[in-house]
Amino acid sequence: MNYIAGIDIGNSSTEVGIIRHDQESKRFVASSLFRTTGLKGTTENVPGIVRALERGAENAGIAVDDLDLLLLNEAAPVIGDVAMETITETIITESTMIGHDPSTPGGIGIGTGTIVDITESQRAHSKDEDIIFRVPNEVDFADAAAIINEWVAQGFDIQGAILQKDDAVLVSNRCEIEIPIVDEVTEIDEVPLGQPAAIEVAASGQTIDTLSNPYGIATLFELSAEETQKIIPVARALVGNKSGVVIKTPEGDVEERSIPAGSLTVIGEDGSKSTVDTEDGAHVIRETVRNRRPLEDVTGESGTNIGGMLNRARTEMSEITNQDPDSIQIRDILAVDTIVPQAVKGAVAGEYRMENAVALASMVKTNRLPMEQIAGELTEELAVDVHIQGIEASMAVLGSLTTPGTDFPIAILDIGGGSTDAAYMNERKEIESIHLAGAGDLVTMLIDSELGLEDRKTAEEIKKHPAAKVETLFSIRHEDGTVDFLETAVDPELFGKVVLLQDDDGMEPIDTDHSLEEIRATRREAKEKVFVTNSKRALRQITPSLNIRHLPFVVMVGRSALDFEIPEMISNTLAEYGIVCGSGNIRKEQGPRNAVATGLVLSHIDGNSFLDFELPDELSTSITETVATDE
């Protein structure tokens, strides 16, 4: 009786499948999983492999020493990286019309008037004048409210107030009239006195609709058509906000302009080249890459984020393989359009607005990862024979064919953190595979930037878990609008917050002002941009006819197939092409996990009963074959 273990080293996890065989039977007896230690395809993986084997052996009721043979996959030599370039910026020159969005306004409604310092004398102003007070730090909230009440009592028309401190609600609660009040204008001295301004505060649960509308601003300030065109960036910056203030000054301009973001040079294997400016957008970049495929290399303009990303990927791969960085080639890039919050240059209140940006993922590939070194260290540490059995994608196809209801021709999708892998087995059992740039890491970056989190860990959690709103201590509202009533009260600190629903039924609050709907929309849009786009791109390239409609079966495997919404997104998209697509169920019991590890073992024992066909010779080795145990 012998035990053979197949080992799949992934980017984030290492999987093991163990089979027991003798002359009469062959049967899988255990599977296990442990996080991958170190960068995939390096000797740093050995501790993680050992722990996965120990777990597998324990599940099988044997010791690691009882294993007779370890089968390693020829790990796909791929490294992915991501970067982003902002391609537009908003600049306020001299003085001009500005917009500001405080998060804690006071009062309600819209007011227009001339900006007056709250410490000025009433004698300097006419009662026919509409007034908006500018309130610096030196004026206490109680004094500000008292002054407003006094001016109103004297017959002045006070339309609103702009506060430097975060006191809008405190002032509003002490005023005898209800006026819109905005606060947290840090550079209050830059707010020009004597100039017309408009303040708007929406009712609870609503957003402003006048200052976020160019024609609304034009109506308030009697702007010409030319002037209305110039305030479009201001209106756009205030869309979706619950309050805003716009100040009109006589000179200057607000402009949204494109900024140099560097260029990419795409080189095809036939020697043809195309140079594309990043500021042209993701669509143009993707089109350029498609026209030059298959790629020989991609280079980025030095001094830009994109150029730095490509050089970083080359350096990382060269360190792993001990190759010259100049010999490392970028074999694929994926570009997607996104938006990122950027400070408005020249703004007086620290305004931010969402600027256009292009995010790119790159992939470096080489044929010289040190799998032999990994095998050598495993043999030395465990005293067990180790064999490098087969290419990762081919093994994944074999493992996927143990999913009930599948047959070949068949394609698989394995979306990881850094790359999207696909493989296709045709009617002659020939397998083609492809690795494309762009996967989970790019999605995490998009969520992080578009929500302005500046926290990759939180963005990663948002990607992995559904969200909900804690509406009362005993109820939460899910993303689809349904409400769950809880048997026990939640932590009072979660009241009113958006939380992530963890796998263990825990709730993790998200430290952001974004609503549940905004978080859901951002997460799903990021996944659509990367996962769905890349799935179609990969399947099209591995299909012999380059037509996805000719694929009968597509099986999703790996960690991404366990995501709570990725399989549904991809299945819905491929359903339009009449393709049977879904998450794998390896060996009828593993779900989408363990495809490569299972394929490794099957390829070594000629398939057994798990496959209803004989394996191609190039994918199969005999159990009696001499096993490689050393360098």
261 pLDDT more than 60? yes
Query: Phi and psi for 299 in degrees, rounded to 5?
Result: -120, 150
What pLDDT, on the 0 to 100 scale, is given for residue 630?
Answer: 37
Average pLDDT of the chain to the nearest whole number: 83
Examine residue 47 and say whether the peptide bond preceding it is cis (omega within 30 degrees of 0): no
User: What is the per-residue pLDDT across 42-98, written as a single tens digit (0 to 9) for each?
Assistant: 788 899 999 999 999 999 999 999 999 999 887 655 565 566 666 555 555 433 445
Of all residues in the chain, the percent with pLDDT exceeding 70 is: 86
The answer to whether 183 touches 244, Cβ cutoff 8 Å, is: no
Average of pLDDT values for 401-411?
89
What pLDDT, on the 0 to 100 scale, is given for residue 629?
Answer: 36
What pLDDT, on the 0 to 100 scale, is given for residue 99?
Answer: 52
User: What is the per-residue pLDDT across 262-288, written as a single tens digit (0 to 9) for each?
Assistant: 788 999 888 899 998 887 888 898 899
CA nearest 558: which of 540, 535, 580?
535
What pLDDT, on the 0 to 100 scale, is given for residue 526?
Answer: 94
Average of pLDDT values for 189-214?
86
What pLDDT, on the 0 to 100 scale, is given for residue 152?
Answer: 94
Alpha carbon 92 to chain centroid, angstroms: 31
Average of pLDDT values for 153-157?
94
- For residue 419, what are the contacts with CB-CB under 8 A and spacing of at least 6? 76, 78, 80, 363, 435, 436, 437, 438, 439
What pLDDT, on the 0 to 100 scale, is given for residue 81?
Answer: 59
552 pLDDT more than 70? yes
The answer to whether 1 touches 591, Cβ cutoff 8 Å, is: no
User: What is the per-residue pLDDT across 585-629, written as a single tens digit (0 to 9) for each?
Assistant: 998 889 999 999 999 998 888 665 667 667 776 666 644 443 333
What pLDDT, on the 0 to 100 scale, is given for residue 255?
Answer: 52
What pLDDT, on the 0 to 100 scale, is given for residue 625?
Answer: 43
What pLDDT, on the 0 to 100 scale, is given for residue 49?
Answer: 94
User: What is the per-residue pLDDT across 463-516, written as a single tens digit (0 to 9) for each?
Assistant: 999 999 999 999 999 999 999 999 899 999 999 899 999 888 889 999 888 889
CA nearest 422: which of 43, 29, 76, 70?
76
Q: Considering the entire predicted model, what is its pTM?
A: 0.74
What pLDDT, on the 0 to 100 scale, is given for residue 433?
Answer: 86
For the ranges 52-56, 105-109, 328-332, the lowest mean pLDDT is seen at 328-332
User: What is the per-residue pLDDT across 236-260, written as a single tens digit (0 to 9) for each?
Assistant: 777 777 888 888 766 554 555 555 5
Alpha carbon 493 to chain centroid, angstroms: 28
Alpha carbon 131 to chain centroid, angstroms: 46
What pLDDT, on the 0 to 100 scale, is given for residue 528?
Answer: 93
Give dist(CA 379, CA 269) in Å, integer: 39
What pLDDT, on the 0 to 100 scale, is given for residue 626?
Answer: 38
User: What is the per-residue pLDDT across 533-542, written as a single tens digit (0 to 9) for each?
Assistant: 999 999 998 8
What pLDDT, on the 0 to 100 scale, is given for residue 242?
Answer: 81
Give dist(CA 583, CA 567) in Å, integer: 7
